[in-house]
């Protein structure tokens, strides 16, 4: 029974590792996440998000 649990755990982790690796590859080494509109790409590169006190990224206590 423990062997089955071990294999299921490993297979579940492999799925996340593969999907995460593909996401990182597409993000940094391809243009698959770019907009087809070049004006949108230029605007995204020239501006930044507005971070306020109500924007929650991480809260450390």
How does residue 50 score in pLDDT terms, banded at 50, 70 and 90?
confident
- pLDDT value for 58: 63
Q: Please, are residues 13 and 5 in contact by the beta-carbon 8 Å criterion? A: no
How many domains does the chain fold into?
1
- pLDDT value for 8: 96
Give the other-Cβ count within 10 Å of 41's Cβ: 13
Which is more confident, 22 or 60? 22
Give the model confidence (pLDDT) of 1-48 as tens digits: 789 999 999 999 999 999 999 999 999 999 888 889 999 989 988 987
Domain of 52 in residue numbering reads as 1-58
């Amino acid at each position: 029974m423990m062997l089955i649990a071990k294999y299921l755990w490993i297979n579940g982790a492999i799925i996340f590792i593969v999907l995460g690796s593909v996401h990182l590859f597409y993000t940094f080494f391809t243009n698959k996440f770019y907009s087809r509109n070049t004006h949108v790409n230029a605007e995204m590169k020239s501006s930044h998000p507005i971070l306020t006190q109500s924007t929650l990224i991480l809260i450390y206590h």
